[in-house]
Amino acid sequence: MATLLCVTLTAAYFLIDVRPRHSGGTWMGYSLGALGAALIVWLALLGVRKRAVTAGHYSLKAWVSAHVYLGLSLTVIATLHTGFQFGMNVHTLAYVLMMLVIVSGLFGVWAYASLPNLLSANRGETTRRQMLDALATLDGQLHEAAQPLDRDMAAIVRLSLEKTDIAGGYWQRVFGLYGGCANDRAIERLARARQGARGPEAETLAQIDALLRKKAEALAFARRQVRITALLEGWTFVHVPMTFALLAALTAHIVSVFFYW
């Protein structure tokens, strides 16, 4: 239906001769604008529909599907409405915001279609709880193993135990920015400390080194998971706030064109 709508409207746009030229201000421009605005309001209502549990005829799945296709058709409807006239004004601001919402929506479709598979492929049979438990167990073993150490050496283990950040902020999660990871720094410091160590101390340090490396693997695994989840929700941080900005700019656009009529 969305394709049919786009094809029909594009054909009408090029077949119908409007004077002086196509723009938002002709009868056709007003019709396309009204259709576009109605669609935008309906698309924005998905936020409400999503949260309402109904036994109605149209499932949420059908709503989302219609949302995607009709949302995409707005690129055609709104562009024809403008008569391809853009400028540095609130009208074009509404247009740009609409495009941002649509592009983020496309990213959302990609994310929902592909990331859940990646998520389960990385996780295998492990649950989130088991992943966190594994890290907690390693921390417990590190704490235990560090008991015979003197203050300076124990500080290395404390660095890993107290300063390691599993996830961090949003961008850190998405781009895997864990360059200064406390556990990695602890591994480096331990490598230097081990050079002068002898006897039982050397054995304890070797045991701690193995535990820190195991923890590094567990962290990498958890962070891959965290990265995919961050990507999965990231597009909504654009899609939803930009929808509100769009509704505001659109209101300003419509009010201003009637004001200067």
Q: How far is the C-alpha of 226 from the C-alpha of 166, rounded, in Å?
A: 9
The neighbour count for residue 105, using CB atoms within 10 Å, is: 21
Q: How far is the CB of 33 from ligand HEM (least distance, A)?
A: 3
**By the rule CB under 6 A, 37 interacts with ligand HEM:** yes
Enumerate residues 172-191 that contact ligand HEM by CB under 6 A.
none
**By the rule CB under 6 A, 101 interacts with ligand HEM:** yes
Binding ligand HEM by CB under 6 A: which of 9, 76, 80, 98? Answer: 98
Contact predicate 230/174, CB 8 Å: yes
The neighbour count for residue 37, using CB atoms within 10 Å, is: 19
Binding ligand HEM by CB under 6 A: which of 10, 31, 92, 172? Answer: 92
Please give, one letter per residue, the 3-state secondary structure of the chain. Answer: CHHHHHHHHHHHHHHCCCCCCCCCCCHHHHHHHHHHHHHHHHHHCHHHHHHCCCCCCCCHHHHHHHHHHHHHHHHHHHHHHHCCCCCCCHHHHHHHHHHHHHHHHHHHHHHHHHHHHHHHHHHCCCCHHHHHHHHHHHHHHHHHHCCCCCHHHHHHHHHHHHHCCCCCCHHHHHHCCCCCCHHHHHHHHHHHHHHCCCHHHHHHHHHHHHHHHHHHHHHHHHHHHHHHHHHHHHCHHHHHHHHHHHHHHHHHHHHHHHHCC
Binding ligand HEM by CB under 6 A: which of 5, 72, 119, 248? Answer: 72
Q: How far is the CB of 173 from ligand HEM (least distance, A)?
A: 20
**By the rule CB under 6 A, 89 interacts with ligand HEM:** yes
**By the rule CB under 6 A, 65 interacts with ligand HEM:** no
**By the rule CB under 6 A, 36 interacts with ligand HEM:** yes
Contact predicate 164/181, CB 8 Å: yes
Q: How far is the CB of 142 from ligand HEM (least distance, A)?
A: 41
Binding ligand HEM by CB under 6 A: which of 12, 16, 21, 47? Answer: 47
Binding ligand HEM by CB under 6 A: which of 6, 9, 13, 24? Answer: 24
Binding ligand HEM by CB under 6 A: which of 28, 95, 205, 218? Answer: 95
In the shown chain, the binding pattern of residues 127 to 166 toward ligand HEM, with x for contact by CB under 6 A and - for none, equals ----------------------------------------
Q: How far is the CB of 111 from ligand HEM (least distance, A)?
A: 8
Binding site for ligand HEM (CB under 6 A): 23-25, 29-30, 33-34, 36-37, 40, 43-44, 46-47, 50, 64, 67-68, 71-72, 74, 78, 81-82, 85-87, 89, 91-92, 94-95, 98, 101-102, 105-106, 108-109, 112, 236, 239-240, 243, 250, 253-254, 257
